[in-house]
Amino acid sequence: MSELAGPWAGRRAVLATMHGKEAAIAPPLATLGLRVEVARGIDTDSLGTFTGEIPRPGTPLETAIAKARMGMAATGADLGIASEGAYGPDPLVPFLAQGEEWLAAVDAARGLVIAERLVERRPVYDHATAASVAGLRDFLHRVGFPEHGLIVQPNAGTGGARKGLRAQAALDRAVSACAAASADGLALVQTDMRAHMNPTRMATIGRLAGLLAERMLRACPACAALGFGVRRAAPGLPCRWCGAETSLHGGSVMGCTACAHEEIRAEDGAPETADPGYCPACNP
């Protein structure tokens, strides 16, 4: 059976996005035979913005699912796709940045929600403060301006954010205006994390779409529902010395989208036990 004759062939999937994500998401899903169309005229920013004007009410996964359902409601489609990301400090190495991306497919015809997650360890996500553009030279090089867009706003006090800045002249004007409007005389300059303004994030979403496409073909070994895949990390490996659970994970818990079936799958080459350095009992 060819890919285009599989269980998703010929289906229409509406993608809820305002930021051009179809460029990254549609090609991997097309390998399943899905026809991806953008749901026009919906405001996905109503579910939260990166700059915080509108707080996100739920988790990235909950928001991705809500976006997908929003697109379905607006178009009458029975299959919706949407993504959501969250960026911030790496929980283990706080001075480094980390991104978490979720992509969800909501299939009303089958009663399934299939979602996939990808952690981006090297995002283009950063910020700086400066009184003028002259103080931003290293920052601009580091974040790949102008290919990656920027957002500028006053560092202290009120003032609207200037988004989507990719031209030097526009950046100069925004930094000058926001520094003048700020109580401390500084402008806050940060990477614009909307997908169409951040090619690194767009590439991450494309990789995630490939992972989702693979998952959408993977059937549960217990009930045959589609979307079988990783749910969470497996329990920590036992300590080589004392046998207690450690902080080192050697695999994942795989789960079904429709039934309660789960199974643990070890990573290729993962050890059976962990070094005592990962054990809270042997190395408190």
Domain residue ranges in the chain? 3-121+198-217, 127-192, 220-284
Q: What are phi and psi of 177, to 5 degrees?
A: -65, -40
Contact 155, 182 (CB under 8 A): yes
- In angstroms, the CA 190 to CA 174 distance is 12
Contact 172, 145 (CB under 8 A): no
Helices (H) and strands (E) in the chain, counts: 5, 14
pLDDT tens string for the chain (284 positions)?
344 679 999 999 999 999 999 999 999 999 999 999 999 989 998 888 787 788 888 899 999 999 999 999 999 999 999 999 999 998 878 889 999 999 999 999 999 999 999 999 999 999 999 999 999 999 999 999 999 999 999 999 877 899 999 999 999 999 999 999 999 999 999 999 999 999 999 999 999 999 999 999 999 999 999 999 999 989 999 999 999 999 999 899 999 999 999 999 988 888 999 999 999 999 97
Three-state DSSP at 208 gives helix
**Which residue has tokens 């202290």?**
156
Q: Is the peptide bond before 146 cis (omega within 30 degrees of 0)?
A: yes
Pick the CATH number of 3-121+198-217 from 2.60.40.10, 3.30.470.20, 3.40.50.1110, 3.40.50.10150: 3.40.50.10150
pTM comes to: 0.90
Three-state DSSP at 258 gives coil
The per-residue b/e assignment along 167-205, b for 16 or more CB within 10 angstroms, e otherwise, is: eeeebeebbebbbebbeeebbbbbbbbbbbbbebbbebb
Query: What CATH number labels 127-192?
Result: 3.30.1490.20
Number of residues assigned to the chain: 284
Tell me whether domains 3-121+198-217 and 127-192 share a fold: no
